[in-house]
Amino acid sequence: MSKLDYLRWLGVDALWLSPIYPSPMADFGYDISNFTDVHPLFGTLEDLDTLVRQAHQRDLKLILDFVPNHTSDEHPWFQQARQSRTNEKRDWYIWRDPAPDGGPANNWTSNFGGSAWQFDAQSGQYYLHLFDVKQPDLNWRNHEVRRAMFDVMRFWLDRGVDGFRVDVPGALLKDEQFRDNPLNPDWKAGDRPYTRQLSLYTEDQPGIHEIVREMRAVVDHYGERVLIGEIWPPMERMVQYYGEQLDEVHLPFNLQLVLRPTWEARTIRQIVDEYEGALPRGAWPNWVLSNHDRPRVATRLGREQARMAQMLFLTLRGTPTCYYGDEVGMQNVAISPELMQDPEGKENAQYSRDPERTPMQWESSPNAGFCPAGVRPWLPVADDFQTYNVAVEQHDPRSFLTLVRTLLTLRRALPALSMGSQQSIDQPNPTCFVYQRQHADEHCLVALNFSAQDQVVTLPEQGQGRLLLSTHLDREGPLPLSEVHLRGNEGLLIEFETHPPHV
Ligand code: GLC
């Protein structure tokens, strides 16, 4: 609550909380044992109400995580379901008899490794869990389940939350015939075990879009609320979740910048152009640069490139979703095996998501101000927290945080950035990506150097621009457009005053 003013100061419009519900914390709160309450670790329902109120007083929206695919195995629904094959809640989950050899009914694997089926000795059947064994999948073919989960949405919407980020909506329906998933021909040793199979029969099944449309209808009933979907690439898949009539999620998360293995000007331009080209008419774009499931951007690219990446992220057309701490340049923290919390990490240390989930770095005091000194946070604080934290960076005119805040301020001030068109600009230097944003007669140019060396960008037209911002935060003012000089890892935001280049 005490940090809401910070978010406003930074220029944030909406806050998404990952799950805050009662949970045994087998998967950092994504294993929910009660969908309509708050985990005591985070406070009470009344605290949540106060948070909503205080956020709204500051013109901040509050978005919750909605996890419809599974519950915790400690949820009363599952406790009942596992009591017997005839229990009235039995069909709320997905059960199969053992195969003739006693093993699971098919080859489906869990996202966290191993079979997606767990044998339940008491009732002699296997239950399905596409994630951790403590996260049994709900059976969305059962209409009582649908009704119960839509009621969960209403419970929170009635309390005033502004919408949901929906966890793995594409996985809600599974193949009715439970056919084996085919092997992925492109899988190679070292890739995530889960990607060894193609999710042909466990994702995007017929009927799924109807369910997402129903969710949207629940939300639309409340007026101005938002539905965001965690949809993984490929792009063709992602854009389908806008809905044919733009009647599914408002924003299917665009995770391409997070997942693309190569970070080079050409590839990023390709992503931007393909995405812009694939968006259905009238759909609003969005970008994600880091999240709680993948290494942080400042670790993937290093802090120098990460500054440039922030300029890209915050000047592309569409809504950016910033992961906490990225704004101060937080990096992943190595977590020793005995401190590991993440079920995926316990299964496969190299894929642990704990390193990107360490405490927010607020200040230089013990525990970085995340929790009182003397209390041990569930994951350790980064070693460099005394250099990279909000309190220190707020007073440094060239810090990472100052850069992010300035970008957000410019974004708000310039309609070209907040709502203008997006157009890539050809230019001969392969290490740089240049694009134009335009709204009415306001033109902005963004020039990004993906290399650590100085580069020159030549634009097709002469003319005079005005440099609004360098990611190095050390220059601004008039700038000739014909030949733009960039230092290593530098990004420039330029406003045209005359003669915009042809695109
Ligand atoms: C989503 C979440 C991830 C979680 C999983 C299971 O992918 O982002 O953190 O482990 O769903 O709920």
pLDDT tens profile 122-160: 999 999 999 999 999 999 999 999 999 999 999 999 999
Would the CB of 131 count as within 6 Å of ligand 1? yes
Query: Of ligand 1's atoms, which has the minimum distance to the CA of residue 353?
Result: 9
What one-character DSSP code corresponds to residue 476? -
In this structure, which amino acid lies at residue 177? Q
Would the CB of 167 count as within 6 Å of ligand 1? yes
pLDDT at 188: 94
Tell me the pLDDT tens digit for each residue of 344-375.
998 888 999 999 999 999 999 999 999 999 99
Asked whether 485 and 459 are in contact (CB, 8 A), the reply is no
Tell me the pLDDT tens digit for each residue of 96-110.
999 999 999 999 999
Average pLDDT, integer, range 482-492: 96
Asked whether 216 and 163 are in contact (CB, 8 A), the reply is no
Query: Of ligand 1's atoms, which has the minimum distance to the CA of residue 69?
Result: 12
Q: Which residues does the annotation mark as catalytic?
A: 167, 230
Half-sphere exposure of 27 (CA within 13 A, CB side): 25
Q: Which helix H or strand E contains 465, and what residues bound it?
A: strand 464-470
Q: Read off the tokens for 128.
A: 């399905």
Would the CB of 16 count as within 6 Å of ligand 1? no
Take atom 3 of ligand 1 and give the residue whose Cα is closest.
Answer: 293
pLDDT at 233: 87
pLDDT at 412: 97
Would the CB of 323 count as within 6 Å of ligand 1? no
Take atom 5 of ligand 1 and give the residue whose Cα is closest.
Answer: 30
Q: How many CB atoms lie within 10 A of CB 198?
A: 15
| Residues listed for the chain | 503
Asked whether 262 and 269 are in contact (CB, 8 A), the reply is no
500 pLDDT band (50/70/90 cuts)? Answer: very low
Between 186 and 462, residue with greater pLDDT: 186
What one-character DSSP code corresponds to residue 144? H
Which residues in 435-454 are b (16+ Cβ under 10 Å) and which e? bbbbeeeebbbbbbbbbeee
pLDDT at 288: 98
DSSP assignment of 3-70, as one string? Answer: THHHHHHHT--EEEEPP-S----TTTT-S-S-TTS--TTT--HHHHHHHHHHHHHTT-EEEEEE--SB
Does the structure show a pLDDT above 70 at 14? Answer: yes
pLDDT at 502: 53
Distance CA 489, CA 60 (A): 33
What one-character DSSP code corresponds to residue 360? P
Distance CA 67, CA 130 (A): 13
